[in-house]
Structure 1
Amino acid sequence: MENAILSKIRGGLIVSCQALENEPLHSSYIMQRMAVAAMRGGAVGIRANTVEDILKIREEVNLPLIGIIKRKYKDSDVMITPTMSEIDELMEVKPDILAMDGTDRIRPGGEILEDFFGKVREKYPEQLFMADCSTLTEGVRAAKMGFDIIGTTLRGYTSYTKDAVLPDIDLMRSMVKNTGKPVIAEGGIWTPEQLGRVIRTGVWAAVIGTAITRPKDITEKFVKVLTT
């Protein structure tokens, strides 16, 4: 029987509503209004960063929510839900889906993903977990580890994929074919036409963030046309 949360997001658009401390729209209230706008526009889900934003968004939005905490540690490049501390914080508010870095990179404290996720799954056996990956190998490995959902989120954001052209349609198609798990496509989707191509790969759903919820980046994209 298909999971109820997965059923609700199937074939739809998830909007990422995030703003880090150094960004102009950093505010739980502003992220809530972004999420409300996305909901009214037809989004099937929201991706949000921090417990504070999740709680504020939930006051007005009843869509399935993918929760993360971005936090930097000096000894690792992993930033998306990197340690058990962030997992525990998120589980206090129980996001419908909890996402974490699913790449080959070493986590804080020298921990590898297999060991870390084993502990997480044992502690929270009923939670839906999503692996944010950057390569097919990572996606297949995460699926075998027991992640419920595989994401292409970190394509282009690891040192070994920084030259990838986004959105990476071939990767999305390969993830669908080879992981045996629902794949959520994310990364570099800027136009409705691109979104159509992405969905036709067979992915479960797609996430768009910057192109919808980051006006500074959107403005820069337009301004660049005028200065080149």
Structure 2
Amino acid sequence: MTMALLEVQDLQAGYGASRVLHGVDLTVGDGRIVTLLGKNGMGKTTTLKSVMGLLPKQAGSVRFGGREVTRLAAFEVARLGLGWVPEGRQVFPTLTVAENLVATAANRHGAAQPFTLQRVYDFFPRLAERAGNLGNQLSGGEQQMLAIGRALMTNPRLLILDEATEGLAPLVRAEIWRVLGALRATGMAMLIVDKNLGPLLELADHHVVLEKGRVVWQGDGPALQADQATVQRHLGL
């Protein structure tokens, strides 16, 4: 049985007096890939930010690796092994590609095969070609590769991606999905938000659908494909 790496129970969070999440439950097993699905404004990014400690929880519990992390600051959560790839990339604009990658590099958990500059370049050859370019000189697709590479350089136990391929050209999206598939083969656990259902169905083990801050459906890929009513109503596809 797969050990629960991330456990979220009755998560409630929001912004100021406005509550966005109303009791979200989800689990990511060690080495497993889980998606958060739903239309815009349903609470997906809020869930990820709450898990990462970037947004205070109003109620509920978040456990990572068996440890309660509900009240920890974002940097403390990251040090436990959560790698964050934010929506909008947020690379350091005045650092080179290589500097972006080494800025947060660490191997706090003693990975036997840690991510190094060369290993990230092996996954993303384009970053090797652009190693000396500043972050603000990269295309959107290159910045997304860099954001993923930067998270990998922390050698996370769980990689969290918010809008993994949003706004990217088809060839770049295909490259991102290729890399995520290769990371899956290494045993990397992931929690992914993205609107491209087709690749997610091939990649992920489990899907969680949100509507207005609540889990309205969850299951595996074949079950989601078979439930066209859920796809049409909650995903708008």
Per the TM superposition, whether the score is higher than 0.5 is no
**Greater fraction of residues in helix:** 1
TM-score w.r.t. length of structure 1: 0.41
Larger relative contact order (C-alpha < 8 A, sep ≥ 6)? 2
